Amino acid sequence: MRKKAVNSLERLQAVLEVFTEDRLEWTPEELMEELGYSRPTLYRYLKILKDTGFLTSMPNTGFTLGPRVVEMDYLLRKSDNLLLSGAPYLQKLTARYECTALLVRWYGDKILCVDSLSSSREPLTSYPRGRPMPLSRGAIGRSIIAFLPRRHLLPLLKRTLGDWQVAGVGETIEEVLDALKAVRKAGYALAHGEVTPGVVGFAAPIFDAGQSPIASISMTMAETQVRDALSDEIGREVLLAAGEISAALASHRHHISNQ
C-alpha cells in the first residue's frame, strides 16, 4: 500500500500515479487495496477522473488512462518552449549524423524524453518519448546531475547511491562526485553502451536562466561509427546546441518578464 495522501488533491493525484509501464490497467478492487481508500471515496475520485477524461473504462474491465492525457500532450507540444527551441537542433544533429537526437526533461528525481528525432534505420535508444530514464546510467542522467548545485546534489546522491554503485560510477559519494566533476569540466557527458549495448551517448545540460539544469540534449550513435576524433567533434557540437537552446530559453523568459 502506498504512503497515505494528505489532502483531497493529493489523493486524487495518487489515483493517476499508480498507472505505470508495468501496470497500465487497474480494477477498483485493486485500487482500493493499493491506495487504501474506502469504496465511496475511490468511486468519487474515479467518477471525477472519468468525467474529465483522465481515465476511461469499458464495461466489466479495469480503468486505463483516458483521452484527456492525449489532449494535454498535444497542448504541451504546442506550448513548451523547450520543445519549440530544441526542435531545430534535433533536426540539425540528425541531418549531420546517422543518430537519434533527444530532448530530455528533468523533473523531481526523474528524467524523461520529451522529444526525439532519428536518422538511423533503427532508432538507437531504449527510452522513447514519455518513458522515464535511469539517473545513474548513461550520458543523459550525468549531464544533468553533474551540474546540480551541491545543496541539491548531495541529498540526491545519498538517496540513490546504490544505483550509482550498480552502474559502476563509484562506490562512495566521493567517487561519484569525482566522476561528475569530470563531466562538469568537459561540459558534456559521454557514455559507451551503458543504457543500450553497442551505443554511444553524448549529452549536455540545458539551463533556463537559472543555476540548475532543466533538461539535456542528447545524441546516440552506433559505437562502430564513433572514432576518437569524431567523438570530440560530436561532444562539442552537442555542447554548443545545449548552450544555444539555453540562451533561447533565457531570452524568452526575459521577454515574457518585461511584457
Q: Is residue 53 a contact partner of residue 66, using CB atoms and an 8 Å limit? A: yes
- pLDDT of 214 over the 80 cut: yes
Q: What is the CATH number of domain 80-257?
A: 3.30.450.40
pLDDT number for residue 4: 57
Average pLDDT over residues 191-219: 89
Distance CA 80, CA 249 (A): 10
Count, in order, helices (H) and strands (E) of the chain: 9, 8
C-alpha cell at 254: 526575459
Q: Where are the domains of the chain?
A: 8-66, 80-257
Under the banding of pLDDT at 50, 70 and 90, the label for residue 205 is very high
C-alpha cell at 85: 527551441
Under the banding of pLDDT at 50, 70 and 90, the label for residue 57 is very high
Average pLDDT over residues 140-166: 91
Per-residue model confidence as pLDDT tens digits over 244-253: 999 999 887 7
Place of cell 562538469: 184
pLDDT number for residue 234: 93
Domain 8-66 has CATH 3.30.160.270: no
C-alpha cell at 37: 481508500
- pLDDT of 21 over the 70 cut: yes
Torsions phi, psi for 107 (to 5 deg): -150, 140
